[in-house]
Amino acid sequence: MKIRIPIPAPVAKAGPLRVAVVPRLVPAFSYGLAVAGAGISAFLVRQAFLAMTNAETAGIGAVTRGLAEANVPLLIALYLAIVSGAAGLLVLIIRMFVNTTKASPPVWFVMVTGILGLIPAGLFWWAESLVIGVFYPDSGGIVAVANMVALLLPSIMIAAPFILLLLLAISVWPVRSLSKPKWGPIVVLLMFEVALVVMAVAFQLRTSWLFQVSQAEQLLP
């Protein structure tokens, strides 16, 4: 009688985990809103800047009102981005305490999408600051900033759709992670959420100031 000794089946080695798509789409959507808002506002500011360039009699009231109205799309986008970003942060926190078969987004993903999302808004702030500076004494007038503004605003408008496509692509592209990220992505996402809040407050204050200047038709402190 032969005795058969059972041979244990080989244990499969755990490979890299697939990164879930939804936790990537939510923060990417948040930053995409900021990008789209910056692109629309850049177009509107460009129209106001062209009006300043073509009509030498354009008053400070009319121009500052045009700038303030141009800020509205970006402001709305930033507020929506903050809400969406908070939802993405909540999703990552919940996934920390739930057993899942897929990993949360790695730190590099949050960093890349956050930087891509905030760059257009930052460039827009710079371009608008140059336009506002024209009204101050010893600024050199429109001629001093025309080339830079003419470069920044179209660049934002052209870059916005490409960044949106890139955010979508890296959100749905198959990505694997060697392990489930812990608190790193949450901390980084929280940092960018704070950056969105700071940016929204800054644009809100500037927009309110621009509306006040347009009504007074003179620069205010």
| H or E element in which residue 211 lies | helix 184-216
> Could you give the angle at the alpha carbon of 111 between the alpha carbons of 109 and 114, nearest 5°?
105
CB contact set of 220 (below 8 Å; sequence gap of 6+): 209, 212, 213
Point out the least confidently predicted range of 43-47, 194-198, 202-206.
43-47
> Could you give the angle at the alpha carbon of 37 between the alpha carbons of 77 and 154, nearest 5°?
170
- Specify the pTM: 0.84
**Tokens 């980084």 -> residue:** 188
Please state, rounded to an integer, the average pLDDT across all residues of the chain: 84
Question: Confidence band (pLDDT; 50, 70, 90) for 203?
Answer: very high
Q: Where are the alpha helices (DSSP H) in 19-140?
A: 22-54, 60-96, 107-133
pLDDT over 70 at 180, yes or no = no
